Structure 1
Amino acid sequence: MKCLIVGLGVFGRNLALHLNQLGAEVVALDRKEDNVALIKNEVAVAAVIDFADTSPLARFPLDEMEAVIIAIGDDFEASLAFTMRARELGARRLVCRVLSPMHARLLRLLKVERLVVPEEFAARGLAHSLLMRGAVDGIDLGSGHALIEAATPPELVGQSITSRADHFRRHQVRLVTIKRLEKPLLGGLLKVDPDAPAAYRTLGTPALDEPFQKDDVLVLFGPEKGLRKFLECEGA
């Protein structure tokens, strides 16, 4: 799978890195040498271009790419210009970062397949993590439902889906997976590095009798009110 990204700010750069990790062949373009330098060893192609000139897009087979992402976050005219040029060159799937309501309206007129507002997405996730006990991240799925990551409530440690089936059912919550804290060993001894970031292993589809551990992060789906009550262990 091939993808092209124009704009390597925080959003564009992280998108490029994630796509690369998922196995995509990524072409990453930006007008700032520093931004390109940060990513040049992580993607297939990274190049500096002038945002006032859209002609460099013609060097790449946009019509063969899975997606073309215009992630420019600080230049309204450049974003529109690159979007229009990508469409002219036959981009099959266009994704654009939205800079303003007017920008969004113009992008819709250009029939852009997907409009993205990173700040809005991040704000929704933060709202879930602030209002739900133990939640560390969340995605608003609409219609009052959400997908969240949350620390295991103390009341559930040592329990399992089977032993707490009534609690899951009462609040209409489903366990998607468990992210378990890794405890790396060094020479047979537990390696302790307080400065190292925590590493988690995703268990996939957990067994119904898999006991929840103290440091587990639960990935849960359900209605927002149900998720909140589930994490507060109401009626548990």
Structure 2
Amino acid sequence: MERKKIAVIGIGSFGKLFAKYLFQEGHEVLAIDKREDIIQDIKDFTTVAVSLDATDESALRSQAIEEMDIVVLAIADDFQTSVICADILKKIGAKNIYARYQTDLQQKILSLLGIANLFNPEERAARSMSEMLGYSSVKSNFLVSEEYSVVEVNVPKRYIDKTIAEADIRHKYEINIITIKRYIVNKESKRASDSKIEKILGIPKGSMTLRENDILVIFASQQSLNKFLEG
């Protein structure tokens, strides 16, 4: 994994978790929020945590924002600050700006400012949850974009004991199988609860036979996924 320098501006509930996960993944994380108590709470889980006004151009420049590989504008409850900060970030030449929005109007305004990478974590979480509840075979769902997802799904019964080439999922549904998770018997286990262990089978070949209880990790559009699950 390539270590990146990432700034997270706005350490609310989402920003806090996001910054922590990035730091745990080994990235260099700069956390910025106007509240000192929030900064004190996050400082041990980031590379640098700074309390400053995100609408102050000089303050942002002092943190060398333009040198960051990615800047994530995660402010949720003060859209005016988001707009001003986004405008400053564009002005000082920040690279790869990602901005959070909550309404369609906010999305349009940020787009007009030239911010191409926009996200709504609540919408994505709700969509992912609804898909998991809507299909019992879906184990997890990670949204890559508004259209595409990486999904873990139980192998449909119609494909059990068929090879990947025979199933021909890629051509029938325009779905790519990234890998397969398979539970195998752990003969050395002393406890029944540990008798099965999950194994990642790597990049699957066309000759690989799909077995009952296999979990397919697939990349697909929502439309293709629905067709695949509905058979």
Question: Which TM-score band (shorter chain)?
Answer: 0.7 to 0.9
Q: 1:213 to 1:13 in 2, by over 3 A?
A: farther
Alignment partner, residue 167 of structure 2: 165
| Offset of residue 218 of structure 1 | 1.3
Structure 1 unpaired stretches of 5+: none
Q: 1:27 aligns with which of 3, 17, 30?
A: 30
Q: What's the % identity of the aligned pairs?
A: 30
Alignment of 1:105 onto 2:108: yes
SS in 2 for 1:150: strand
- C-alpha contact 1:125 1:140 (8 A) present in aligned 2: no
Q: Equivalences for 1:34-73 in 2 at 5 Å? A: 35-37=38-40, 39-50=42-53, 55-73=58-76
Deviations 1:82-122, CA, capped at 9 Å, x for gaps: 22232333212321101333332332232123121112222
| Offset of residue 80 of structure 1 | 2.0
Q: 2:19 aligns with which of 16, 26, 32?
A: 16
Q: 1:106 to 1:205 in 2, by over 3 A?
A: same
Q: Equivalences for 1:119-130 in 2 at 5 Å? A: 119-130=122-133
- C-alpha contact 2:169 2:176 (8 A) present in aligned 1: no
- C-alpha contact 2:160 2:212 (8 A) present in aligned 1: yes
Alignment of 1:219 onto 2:217: yes
- C-alpha contact 2:72 2:97 (8 A) present in aligned 1: yes
Q: Distance in 2 between matches of 1:42 and 1:184?
A: 37
| Offset of residue 125 of structure 1 | 2.3
Q: Distance in 2 between matches of 1:61 and 1:228?
A: 45
Alignment partner, residue 139 of structure 1: 143
Q: 1:220 to 1:110 in 2, by over 3 A?
A: same
Q: Distance in 2 between matches of 1:229 and 1:42?
A: 42
SS in 2 for 1:189: coil
SS in 1 for 2:93: coil
Name which of structure 1's ranges 49-58 and 5-14 shifts more when overlaid on structure 2: 49-58
Q: Distance in 2 between matches of 1:43 and 1:183?
A: 40
Structure 2 unpaired stretches of 5+: none
Q: Partner letter of residue 72 of structure 2?
A: I
Q: Which runs of 4+ in 1 moved over 6 A?
A: 182-185, 191-194
Report the count of equivalent residues.
225
- C-alpha contact 2:159 2:167 (8 A) present in aligned 1: no
Q: TM-score, normalised by structure 1?
A: 0.72
Alignment of 1:3 onto 2:6: yes
Q: Distance in 1 between matches of 2:70 and 2:173?
A: 39
Q: Distance in 1 between matches of 2:184 and 2:28?
A: 30
Q: 1:91 to 1:148 in 2, by over 3 A?
A: same
Alignment partner, residue 119 of structure 2: 116
Larger relative helix fraction: 2
SS in 2 for 1:40: helix
Q: TM-score, normalised by structure 2?
A: 0.73
Q: 2:81 aligns with which of 78, 81, 86?
A: 78
Q: Distance in 2 between matches of 1:34 and 1:106?
A: 31
Name which of structure 1's ranges 5-14 and 72-81 shifts more when overlaid on structure 2: 5-14
Q: 1:148 aligns with which of 148, 151, 168?
A: 151
User: Once superposed, what is the RMSD of the aligned Cα atoms?
Assistant: 3.7
Q: Distance in 2 between matches of 1:31 and 1:182?
A: 51
Alignment partner, residue 178 of structure 2: 176
Q: Partner letter of residue 219 of structure 1?
A: V
Name which of structure 1's ranges 129-138 and 90-99 shifts more when overlaid on structure 2: 129-138
SS in 2 for 1:78: helix
